[in-house]
Amino acid sequence: MFGIGTSEILIILLIALIILGPKEIPKIARTLGRTMREFQRVTDELKHTIDSEIEVDEEETKAKPQENPIEEKKTTDA
């Protein structure tokens, strides 16, 4: 996870416990969990929006008849 080993995580948690105290760590963990869940929801929504826009664009491309530029030029010159 992010190139951090188990020993480094334990040291970080121990320092957090000393600095913040045992009462604040659960609050911070809840806040961090909510933030990550919201970030995941926004990311999923963005992916869904991009996928749907790509599908709409592909459908429009398939539905649109291919125009022949030579034919178009003849009709405009005449």
Residue type, 69: P
Task: Please report whether residue 29 resides in a domain.
Answer: yes
40-76 residue pLDDT tens: 999 999 999 999 999 988 888 887 766 666 665 666 6
Which are the contacts of 17, defined by CB distance < 8 A and separation ≥ 6?
25
Task: Please report whether residue 72 resides in a domain.
Answer: no
Task: Please report whether residue 63 resides in a domain.
Answer: no
Task: Please report whether residue 73 resides in a domain.
Answer: no
Which are the contacts of 16, defined by CB distance < 8 A and separation ≥ 6?
25, 28
Model pLDDT, residue 44: 96
Task: Please report whether residue 3 resides in a domain.
Answer: no
Query: Domain count of the chain?
Result: 1
Task: Please report whether residue 10 resides in a domain.
Answer: no
The answer to whether 13 and 22 are in contact (CB under 8 A) is no
Task: Please report whether residue 49 resides in a domain.
Answer: yes
Q: Count the neighbouring beta carbons within 10 Å of the beta carbon of residue 75.
A: 7
14-24 residue pLDDT tens: 998 899 888 88
Structural domain of residue 39, as residue ranges? Answer: 22-56
Task: Please report whether residue 26 resides in a domain.
Answer: yes
- Whole-model pTM? 0.54
